[in-house]
Structure 1
Amino acid sequence: MIKVLFVCTGNTCRSPMAEAILRSKNIPGIEVKSAGVFAAAGQGASPYAKDVLTKNSMTHNHISTPLTEREINWATHIFTMTEYHKWMIMDSYPRALDKTFTLKEFIFADIKDRDVSDPFGGSQNIYNETFRELSDLIDQLIDKLRL
């Protein structure tokens, strides 16, 4: 069983969208969750994130989750949205080194810009762009995980 954990800052924008996108694929043998390095427990996804998911026929009843030992231990693969998130995990959970990557780093080993754009505080159009970026990345992630 592959257990994917997507990690961003507050677990209200990028990581919930990534979780919803991968979950919508209904791939046997892959479980998915998300968390945030600075998340407050119990918040919903941002309104624009919910809107973009709804417009793309994805339902996701998201409740934010702070990143803890429990999520780290659960995951077989941890994909962060930025280098900073990865650094935070490495600093707090060094034993997770071998299973933690930025999403872009895992897909494109030699890519220089390893961060997924952050839509927080942006317009609906910015959330739409981030959703498209994540959708493309997750399609490539699925191919890479199946190898």
Structure 2
Amino acid sequence: MNILFVCTGNTCRSPMAEVILKHKQLNDVQVRSAGIYAMPNAEMSVHAQQVLNEANMAHQHLATQLSTTEVEWADLILTMTTAHKDTIIANFPNTENKVFTLKEYTSEGSLGNVVDPYGGHKAIYEETFAELTALIEQLVKILEKN
């Protein structure tokens, strides 16, 4: 199973989600992340790096622009917002059956978005990390059932 997390710039939410899921070390699950409007090779935000370091989660990340390569690689694309999901489906119409918001996929159809901490204080990143960790716990349960 190839899972792609997508956010806006691929410097906060999607790389944190990628690291959290990789840290679970699930068999036969590959994880990547990308951004709809990413600056290729941009570093993960400093606060995101700090939060991951404090959780003892190793990471090495440079931003990736969402492209056909990532979309075709992925079996499942999990976005941080409904706007990300809609943008992907509009640009890659054949993905409609494999693109979901993370909350929609893990919380039985929830229409909620994962809050964007970009530019905020470290506390906002800590809240986003906690939210992502809880959602990924749910994701792991779903993956283990399938």
Query: C-alpha distance in 2, partners of 1:138/1:69?
Result: 25
1:11 shift after superposition: 0.1
CA gap 1:54/1:88 in 2 versus in 1, 3 angstroms: same
Cross-structure match for 1:120 = 118
Q: Which stretches of structure 1, 4 residues or more, deviate above 4 A after TM superposition?
A: none
Matches within 5 A, 1:71-110: 71-110=70-109
TM-score, normalised with respect to structure 1: 0.97
1:127-146 to structure 2, matched below 5 A, reads 127-146=125-144
In structure 1, stretches of 5+ residues that fail to align are none
Deviation at 1:124, TM superposition (A): 0.3
Counterpart-to-counterpart distance in 2, 1:110 and 1:45: 29
Structure 2 gap segments, 5+ residues each: none
Taking the aligned partners of 2:110 and 2:78, their CA distance within structure 1 comes to: 15
CA distance in 2 between counterparts of 1:57 and 1:112 reads 31
The percentage of aligned residue pairs carrying the same residue is 46
**Cα deviation digits, residues 101-142 of structure 1 (max 9, x gap):** 0000011223242x0011001100000000000000001001
1:5-84 map, 5 Å: 5-84=4-83
Alignment partners' CA distance in 1, 2:73 and 2:111: 29
TM-score by length of 2: 0.97
